[in-house]
Structure 1
Amino acid sequence: MHADDQVDEGVSADLAAFLRNADGGRPVKIASSVCGCGGRVFFVLVNASGAERECSGCGSRAFIADSEEYWNEESWEDDEPGAAGCPCGSREFEAAVAFSLGGDGSVRWVTVGLRCVRDGFCGVFADWKIDYGPTDHLLTMV
């Protein structure tokens, strides 16, 4: 854990702790995924360069961070998106994103963490480097 870490109230303690440990000691901002309908449980498609979530309540879909920019067949090559799944067989998750921050406060890395709503299993299902700026807009795209 880093002294500058920031965690949204909506992130479960288990998932927040998991994401903090997975981040390599850099300061992070951890934000919870929340649908426009207020839903917090999602089906998630992931690959190495992005993630898209679908609310299990209303079916609304949204890309996480800048995933939409790379969510096409040209970018996928040998890494087509697949449905995230828990070892228990469930495909429904609480989702949160850890944004690793550089010294200037800009986002340098995006890590998508999921927590199974059935058994609490936590895992990193996608993460990618951000090598452009400005990056403030990413912090709201969870």
Structure 2
Amino acid sequence: MARSLTVVRVAGGLYVFGQAGRVWVWGVWNDVSVHADDQVGEGVPAELGVFLREAVDDRPVKIAPSVCEGCGGRVFFVLVNGSGAERECSGCDSRAFIADSEEYWNEEFWEDDEPGAAGCPCGSEEFEAAVAFSLGTHGSVRWVTVGLRCIKDGFCGIYADWKIDYEPTDHLLTMV
């Protein structure tokens, strides 16, 4: 099961900067085209939903918010790399992997890409999170895109994005 990471996917420009184990993502807003089959889950911050829609290709998407199963919290510290993302609830310290990240979250897959803490340009490391699942022709997940919205200044960015090349994929839709 090979996987690849694509960070730069927005036509208007998405720039990625890294510093000492932290990942910073800068975004540029453009007009957003919406697919008729898009589904945005309840609780996705509006700005983040628009940003995620813009960042993915023209396939239909399902966008779901990250919600802590332990306490219902919606604010997280997030570790990211080319193999996926893991979030930690700022309310109860509960940890969870996003989509199939856990399968690839080890040194064998990291190579030179160890996980780093997601950080906003303002310095904050606390985010609301949502995931856009780009769907293929038969409704299976083809891409997982992790978007974060800084709770301090509202900055939105894409912090991880990877291809899914296996089926079935329905289980991924609940792993946000």
Q: For this structure pair, what is the TM-score category when the shorter chain's length is used for normalisation? A: over 0.9
The one of 40, 43, 50 aligned to 1:17? 50
Report the Cα distance in structure 1 between the residues aligned to 2:96 and 2:77, rounded to whole angstroms: 11
The one of 85, 97, 108 aligned to 1:63? 97
Letter aligned with residue 132 of structure 1: Y
Letter aligned with residue 100 of structure 2: D
Structure 1 position 25, deviation (Å): 1.4
Secondary structure, counterpart of 1:51 in structure 2 = strand
Letter aligned with residue 71 of structure 1: W
Secondary structure, counterpart of 1:26 in structure 2 = coil
Which residue of 2 is the match for residue 49 of structure 1? 83
Secondary structure, counterpart of 2:137 in structure 1 = coil
Q: Which runs of 4+ in 1 moved over 4 A?
A: none
Structure 1 position 9, deviation (Å): 1.0
Q: How does 1:1-142 map to 2 (within 5 A)?
A: 1-36=34-69, 37-142=71-176
Secondary structure, counterpart of 1:2 in structure 2 = coil
Deviations 1:81-107 (A, max 9, x none): 000000000000000000000010000
Secondary structure, counterpart of 1:52 in structure 2 = strand
Structure 1 position 48, deviation (Å): 1.4
Structure 1 position 24, deviation (Å): 1.7
Secondary structure, counterpart of 1:75 in structure 2 = helix
- Structure 1: state its 5+ residue gaps: none
Deviations 1:14-63 (A, max 9, x none): 00000000002111000000001110000000001200000000000000
Letter aligned with residue 124 of structure 1: I
Report the Cα distance in structure 1 between the residues aligned to 2:45 and 2:74, rounded to whole angstroms: 11
Report the Cα distance in structure 1 between the residues aligned to 2:118 and 2:154, rounded to whole angstroms: 14
Secondary structure, counterpart of 2:153 in structure 1 = coil
Over aligned residues, Cα RMSD in angstroms? 0.4
Structure 1 position 2, deviation (Å): 0.7
TM-score for the superposition, normalised by structure 2 = 0.80
- Structure 2: state its 5+ residue gaps: 1-33
TM-score for the superposition, normalised by structure 1 = 0.99
Task: Give the number of aligned pairs.
Answer: 142
Aligned-pair identity (%): 84
